[in-house]
Amino acid sequence: MRLLPRLLWTILFVMLSLRLSAEEPTVKPLKDLFPQFYIGTCLGGLLPDDFTNEEMALIDAHFNVVTPEGCMKPEPIQPEEGVFHFKYPDDLVAYAEAHGKRVTGHTLIWHQQCPDWFFLDGNKPASRELVLRRLRTHINTLVGRYRGQIMGWDVVNEAIDDGKDVYYRPTKWWKAIGDDYIEKAFEYAHEADPDAELYYNDYSIESPVKREKTLKLIARLKEKGLRIDAVGIQGHWELDKVPFKDIEDAIVAFHNAGVKVMITELDLDVVTRWTPKDAPKEVANPYPNACPPEVLQRQAEQYAKLFEIFARHSDKITRVAFWGLHDGRSWLNFWPRWRMNYPLLFDRNAKPKPAFYAVQKVGLTP
């Protein structure tokens, strides 16, 4: 008779364990779910010093390519002429090599985070020749340092104007050098590492207006005999405003133009991006403590739809990379203002969100 209660407790324990297992879906590594293309993330900080054990485990498990979030941009890497800061990128490249991951460099030219000294000669504007010489030195030094260690480079970032009638964004680079500054950057990057892939990276180039301009840029570079391997569609999209058709059309159009496609800075903003400066807190920062389940569910459905597109066109796509490791590491907590945001697949504790499981389902679907 004494055996019966013990047997019942054993049965109850097994049943409870099975129930808990059913409530906790298995987590598959993203890089294994989508072997058709690289799965990446950007990393800001010194590895591993600035990351928790949970974050390091997340990086190791899910991503096979990493991108420096900021440390290779012109201002952080060379704040003064001839003074290069290599500690952070050296650390990232060493980590990647030790853990079997690839690296993409970001970025050689950008109109932001670029020091003014590039464009000055004393107190007057520098000549085209001087700016070109500085650009070549910058690219040769940076790309040359990691020659053979970096898979590819975002050579130029966000150079196309958003407007309908203006082609190039009127940046200091364009004003100092002219229309061919992009061509020169690609030329110098190839010179510094002939084996590295070269990319053009921009936001909203899936939209018809910027798509046509990007196609024009691709054709121009190819006509000049310059190497361009892929274009990066940044993918900073907003919940309920994801331009699914434009994205798919752009992937096909860029592929038909003779380049591969990358989704380079993927996140899905769940907080209204632009609000008036005097907007009340509940509008500017609507989810200070937690994101509502219904919002997370909509985000999950839209992430799944994106990955269905990516999987359908996996012959054209080489990389899908998130701009941030998890919600707590996202730039969207601070731009365009401070707010608690939830744009990625993992929460602030590095745990999978509904969006992760929705994407996982896509990856497991034959």
What predicted TM-score, i.e. pTM, was given to this entire model? 0.92
Mean pLDDT by 10 residues, the chain (366 residues): 51 48 77 98 95 97 98 98 98 97 98 98 97 98 98 98 95 97 98 98 98 98 98 98 98 98 98 89 93 98 98 98 98 96 98 98 95
pLDDT value at residue 277: 84
Q: Which residues are catalytic?
A: 158, 265
pLDDT value at residue 56: 97
pLDDT value at residue 134: 98
Domains and CATH numbers, the chain: 43-63+268-366 (no CATH), 65-228 (3.20.20.80)
Beta pairing class for 124-125 and 120-121: antiparallel
pLDDT value at residue 11: 55
pLDDT value at residue 21: 43
